[in-house]
Structure 1
Amino acid sequence: MSVHADPLEDVLALVGASSSFSAGLVAGGDWAVSFAPAAAVKFNAVRRGSCLLLVEDTVVELSPGDCFLLTRPVPFTLASDLSLPTIPAGVIFAGADLARAGAGDDVFLLGGRFDFGERAQELLLDALPPVVHVPSAAAGAVRWALDQIEAELRDRPLAATLVAEHLALVMLIHVLRWRLTAAPPATGWLAGLGDPVVGPALRLMHGRPAYAWTVAELASQVAVSRSTLAARFRRVVGQGPLDYLTRWRIELAAGRLRRDDGTVAAIARSVGYGSESALSNAFKRVTGMSPRAYRSSRADRS
């Protein structure tokens, strides 16, 4: 009866993700480059050599094959020695296909960005640390994706940029998989994905969000008692199963409203509300505005 879905896939599809590449960075000798905060999620991969990364008060040693994501708009520095004076990245990257710092070419970094929709920070990025460092030895799938990206951008076969951008999204998913396995969040829906009780319940609700789930039926499907599921779900995710379901339904409805995809009544039926007024009441309780006001405000922004 029940359809099991993939909550991570659902959230990535809802928030939308696109990737783009900046110029690579070749460096050698003594060098230090400072980068201004970016609204997007920044990523860099060390394809040759090694260097240091400074983000706020965190220093990360980057070895060949390592990569990192910055999930917050914060300044950062890449350097051979963090005590050196820095050159602003805008100076060396302006109009360059390949930026250069210092003297020599013993270090090569490939960099770019991921852009997400407006709900990504709360739904996904806030559950991750400001810096996600992926050592080369830890994630073979990430390393494979980076090898393919570098080959596309180096050799420039037909549609190389498009292929590289799609590969970057593959790399992002592998990074998220690795992070969730290596250091899962303590709480939140991402933490619930790996829980043997909460994870199956999440997949059931994502598989059929419009279904009139009860805690008792979810518990039966997961083969635990109602009280066990309710307590464990609240402890891991931070809210009860039906509260989570309500908020996920509202996220789905909001996504359709942002895309201007259907009438409010049709959207209400698609996410499990029997009427437009029922959706409006729930939507206003969660977001503070009615579906029609939400749609209008997004239209005004665009």
Structure 2
Amino acid sequence: MDPLSQVLALLKPRSYITAGFDAGGTWSLTLDDLAGRIKCYAVLKGGCWLSLAGGAAIRLNEGDCFVLPSGSPVTIASDPTVPSRRASDVLDPNRSGEVVTYNGGGDVFLVGSRFEVTGRHAEGIFRSLPPIIRVEATGDQARLRWSLELMMEELREAQPGASLVAQHLSHMILVQTLRLYLAQRSPDDTGWLSALADPQLSAAITAMHADPSHPWSLRELARRAGMSRSTFAERFRERVGSAPIGYLTRWRMMLAEDRLVEGRDTIAQIALELGYSSEHAFGTAFRRTVGCSPGRYARAHARGAGSPGR
């Protein structure tokens, strides 16, 4: 499984709401329901503006897509200077599978999904992503446009099973949008997702994800990237925000957390399969990264507790 697929699998996104949004006239809404969620939308007709609090407004045109992974409130509007209303005050949040009409409709039409994120690693992964992931309309969007048009057909015709089909399509749209972002990203972009678009850094990240138990060294990872150790370490830290070996340790711990909660393997088995020479070495790394022992973490999450403590 490739790194993007692995990370999305750890997030465990499930499509919670899939709907269309048809707006008209002058309007502005602040999407204030994003905590613990990812929103993925596309503009099928017209255009609008998207902005974070205190940030410059981004123009979205017909065919553009955007993903909101940060959980921070975002304003979407016909005009960025219009006073905004909270979306939770004026829109029904539970109209899945329907088209929501606002202010008469007719000028701007968006379609997409709001994903509930159930994975335990969401907060850390979201911090490594841009707050707004925008993909401009290009000639390379044939698959994405097909998915969007099919989703709209399902929502419009409301045939038996339409909601389920739309949910599956929404997952496809999320992945396709992230793929297109990787293809269109600026060389100056930072973050884990941007690093995947760098062929040299991606080679090292893919190697770590493919074989997390391997005793990777900085020299070996730099060789995979086709770079000197110093250049590789510097670029990795600039793009990803951590050192390569620190990233590897955190990835191992994410895998360990999932397996500890599943409860099918012993701590010794998990330690060995993630590349640690002993249960003690694994426990030390886990405690340093996660903040508690593996056993305490497993027991706390098995009984549905919150923070497991130390």
Work out whether 1:263 is the aligned partner of 2:266. yes
Aligned residue for 1:249?
252
Structure 1: 4+ residue segments shifted above 6 A: none
- Structure-to-structure mapping, 1:10-49, within 5 angstroms: 10-39=6-35, 40-49=37-46
Percent sequence identity over aligned pairs: 39
Task: Structure 1: state its 5+ residue gaps.
Answer: none
Work out whether 1:119 is the aligned partner of 2:115. no
2:5 is aligned, of 9, 15, 35, to 9
What is the DSSP-based 3-state SS (H/G/I as helix, E as strand, rest coil) of the residue aligned with 1:137? coil
Rate the CA distance shift 1:132–1:164 in 2: closer, same or farther, 3 A.
same
In the alignment, the residues of structure 2 paired with residue 156 and residue 295 of structure 1 have an alpha-carbon distance, to the nearest angstrom, of 43
Deviation at 1:113, TM superposition (A): 0.9
1:52 is aligned, of 32, 49, 68, to 49
Asked whether the equivalents of residues 30 and 103 of structure 1 are also in contact (C-alpha less than 8 Å), the reply is no
Asked whether the equivalents of residues 32 and 101 of structure 1 are also in contact (C-alpha less than 8 Å), the reply is no
In the alignment, the residues of structure 1 paired with residue 133 and residue 224 of structure 2 have an alpha-carbon distance, to the nearest angstrom, of 35
Aligned residue for 1:70?
68
Asked whether the equivalents of residues 68 and 134 of structure 1 are also in contact (C-alpha less than 8 Å), the reply is yes
- Structure-to-structure mapping, 1:67-146, within 5 angstroms: 67-84=65-82, 86-94=84-92, 97-116=98-117, 117-123=119-125, 125-137=126-138, 140=141, 141-146=143-148
Work out whether 1:272 is the aligned partner of 2:269. no
Rate the CA distance shift 1:110–1:250 in 2: closer, same or farther, 3 A.
same
In the alignment, the residues of structure 2 paired with residue 201 and residue 238 of structure 1 have an alpha-carbon distance, to the nearest angstrom, of 15
TM-score by length of 1: 0.83
Greater Cα shift, 91-100 or 53-62? 91-100
Asked whether the equivalents of residues 33 and 101 of structure 1 are also in contact (C-alpha less than 8 Å), the reply is no
Greater Cα shift, 244-253 or 194-203? 194-203
Asked whether the equivalents of residues 92 and 99 of structure 1 are also in contact (C-alpha less than 8 Å), the reply is no
Greater Cα shift, 78-87 or 259-268? 78-87
TM-score by length of 2: 0.81
In the alignment, the residues of structure 1 paired with residue 271 and residue 28 of structure 2 have an alpha-carbon distance, to the nearest angstrom, of 54
Aligned residues: 297
Greater Cα shift, 255-264 or 231-240? 231-240
Aligned residue for 2:308?
none
Deviation at 1:230, TM superposition (A): 4.7
Rate the CA distance shift 1:263–1:52 in 2: closer, same or farther, 3 A.
same
Give the residue type in structure 1 aligned to 2:273: S
Give the residue type in structure 2 aligned to 1:19: S
Rate the CA distance shift 1:265–1:151 in 2: closer, same or farther, 3 A.
same
Aligned residue for 2:161?
159
